[in-house]
Structure 1
Amino acid sequence: MTARRPRSLRARLAERRARAGDGRPLAPFRWWQVLSRSQLSLRIPDATGRTIEYTVDVHQLGDRDDGDVRARLYRDGALAAVSRLPARFSVPGGHIEVAVGGYGLRRCHFVSDAGDERQLVPHPRSAEGRRAAFDRDHRGASRLIGILSTAIVVAGACLAVPQLIDTVSHIPPIAESIGTFTWPLHLPPAVNLAVTLIVVAASIERASRFRASWLDDLAS
């Protein structure tokens, strides 16, 4: 028998956020939810050896009642648990970790009791599922797009950081103590908007591959 690894304080807090579900059925995935909903599944055996399908469902725009983004865990299509993010759901043989960023999921992995990890399989109609299919069918083009989107996000961060420093340095208490910094490059509003939209598109592409990070939030 494999020994269970000790849980960190963060893991224990994440588990406490989870609440039991009411058993309602998993709603079908609609085509218009491609950018606003993430759905990933995993099949694992229970203690009796029967295969169970666990599905994680996240509405990126938040719930209708309060706007909070939550992860819902379905067991064979019935709601088993609900949690604010980041979430950690206990399942046979380990747990499922779910984390979200500004542009989509950053993590949705099954972690075994031994510490082995594997990403859940995205719904084929979701942005993550469509991106994964494109990667399988067009490896070269997929790699090129991935490199391009990362380069765009890095360039966006390089533009955003100096502007942020410029703004912060002109706050009176900071300006009086350390002086001011003036960023010489000032883009016209239309150009600035276009750059922002391009960076956002690149960040969405990265999120569909679970590659988005704090850098994407900073760049936009």
Structure 2
Amino acid sequence: MFTKYKRRRQLSKVKPGDGSALPRYRLWQLFSRSLFALELAAPSGRHLFAVDVRHGRDSSSSKRPAALYRDGRQVHVANLPVTFPVPGGVIEVATSLYGVKRMHYVGDDGREQVLSPHPRSAEGLRARFDRRFPRTSAVIGAVGLVVLLVGLAVTLSVAVEQITRIEVVAAHLGTFTSPVQLPGWAQFALPAAGALAAVDRALRLKSTWMAD
């Protein structure tokens, strides 16, 4: 029930496009633009759909942050998150602070497929690295996950300590002293490492609630 309501609400965000051509992907757009594509069959034949996401835009921008193109022409625009209607299903698009977290085609039968990133985009370069160096890529992913878990544990520990310092809470539950006391350099290094880990997971479309 909630899923159907969420899909209807996101479909309602979709507005008609202006028919303009899909702009070429430029090197300097590496961190400001994501571009994904998927070929789908329709009664009129096979069509190439592309989703263009501009990370520097939001709902207050004059141009929408997400656009759907069919065979190189803009057919829909929307604010994020959004669900674009396409032949045989929908394309669900969502972003986080660190990049794209969902770019999936969901068929009417429930089948899901991740769209292919543009080879020159940050997501495309990360995917190519994963194909060429799968073991190294797996190690990077595992280390990133550990960093996120450690960061979460430290954050929760510090948060509990701060809460129990409130007089009313301390009077009923006592106080808690975090067992983790980070040196000064680590207080800056851990968040920075966590941000890098979150970006890496976003580039692989494996964002988690920890990263968000």
Fold conserved between structures, TM > 0.5: yes
1: distance between equivalents of 2:134 and 2:189? 29
Decide which of 134, 138, 142 is 1:143's aligned counterpart: 138
1:68–1:84: 8 Å Cα contact kept in structure 2? no
1: distance between equivalents of 2:60 and 2:38? 28
Decide which of 173, 180, 204 is 2:199's aligned counterpart: 204
Deviation at 1:27? Answer: 1.9
Amino acid at match of 1:134: F
Identity of aligned residues (%): 37
Q: Which runs of 5+ in 2 are unaligned?
A: none
Secondary structure (helix, strand or coil) at the match of 2:146 reads helix
2: distance between equivalents of 1:37 and 1:167? 39
Q: 2:31: which partner in 1?
A: 35
2:58–2:79: 8 Å Cα contact kept in structure 1? no
User: Does residue 21 of structure 1 match 2:17?
Assistant: yes
Amino acid at match of 1:109: H
User: Does residue 47 of structure 1 match 2:36?
Assistant: no
Q: Which runs of 5+ in 1 are unaligned?
A: 1-6
Q: How many residues align?
A: 210
2:51–2:67: 8 Å Cα contact kept in structure 1? yes
CA RMSD of aligned residues (A): 2.3
TM-score where L is the length of structure 1: 0.85
Deviation at 1:64? Answer: 9.6
In structure 2, relative to structure 1, the CA distance for the partners of 1:178 and 1:33 (3 Å cut) is farther
Deviation at 1:59? Answer: 1.6
Secondary structure (helix, strand or coil) at the match of 2:211 reads helix
In structure 2, relative to structure 1, the CA distance for the partners of 1:67 and 1:24 (3 Å cut) is closer
Deviation at 1:212? Answer: 1.2
Q: 2:112: which partner in 1?
A: 117
